[in-house]
Amino acid sequence: MTGELSPIDKAKFVAAKRAVDYVEDGMRVGLGTGSTAAWMVRCLGELVRDDGLRIRGVPTSTRTAELARQVGIDVISLDEAKWLDLTIDGADEFDENLNLIKGGGGALLQEKIVATASDRMIVITDAAKEVAQLGSFALPVEVIPFGWQTTKALLEETLINLDVLGRETSLRMNGDAPFVTDEGNFILDLHLIRIGNVRQLALVLNQIPGVVENGLFIDICDIVVIGHGDGRVELRDINEGTVQEDKIDFLDNDNMFSDL
């Protein structure tokens, strides 16, 4: 199976494969949303099926919940779990301080709630997502539908006084209609190009009426697992200040997802 993957998918796969080593029997695990997180959910499903791993997963979207159930993971709500041992999720961008932009998949609100309700957050990604300064990826901001155009205007006015390079704002669409989150909200994507002060921006955005949450994850990620297309994996622990490298060998007969 892995022999048929593109280099970028191989990078996502090995990052996910390595990250699930942090999951122990009996844990309550936050399950992220997105293409890289989907590999992680499938890897956990393999451990549940083949190794008898017993975990309870709290998904961050309906898409992740469906996949988790499909691969045999016991799915519960965050209210049932109350607190999580760790969350594993992807990211759209990350910097050297492990600050993140998330929300490309439209699940940033649940992702942030679940991640902050965890003892640790592990981010799985490929090397292309690392940037010197956040902002190249459009920053998602979840807003309530009522008066969203007014909220958009307030956002654009606020950006004038902030340390960002671009100020274009667009409503995320799903075909001819606005994209709607699991909570029934809209997403405004801020095309900032460069964010000078991520902490200031995160705080200011959430003060604007109509804004529910933004996609800046500051001081939330503990470990980033970076996958490469040749099977190399780099693990950076922001708390321990360590960097570790591993290698995951691909198997030509690896068909762990052939039944999905």
Ligand-binding site membership of 26 (annotated): no
Query: 197: Cβ–Cβ under 8 A, 6 or more apart, which residues?
Result: 162, 163
Ligand-binding site membership of 35 (annotated): yes
Reduced to 3 states, what is the DSSP secondary structure of residue 139?
A: strand
Ligand-binding site membership of 231 (annotated): no
Ligand-binding site membership of 92 (annotated): yes
Amino acid at 193: I
Ligand-binding site membership of 91 (annotated): yes
Query: 218: Cβ–Cβ under 8 A, 6 or more apart, which residues?
Result: 99, 198, 199, 202
Ligand-binding site membership of 210 (annotated): no
The CB-side HSE value for 1 (13 A sphere, CA atoms) comes to 11
Q: Which of 4, 93, 96, 111 is catalytic?
A: 111
Distance (Å, whole) CA 241 – CA 230: 25
Ligand-binding site membership of 90 (annotated): yes
Q: In what order do the strands lie in the sheet with 139-143?
A: 168-171, 186-191, 139-143, 211-214
Catalytic residue flag (residue 168): no
Ligand-binding site membership of 222 (annotated): no
Residues flagged as binding site: 33-36, 89-92, 102-105, 129
Residues flagged as binding site for substrate: 33-36, 89-92, 102-105, 129
Active site residues per annotation: 111
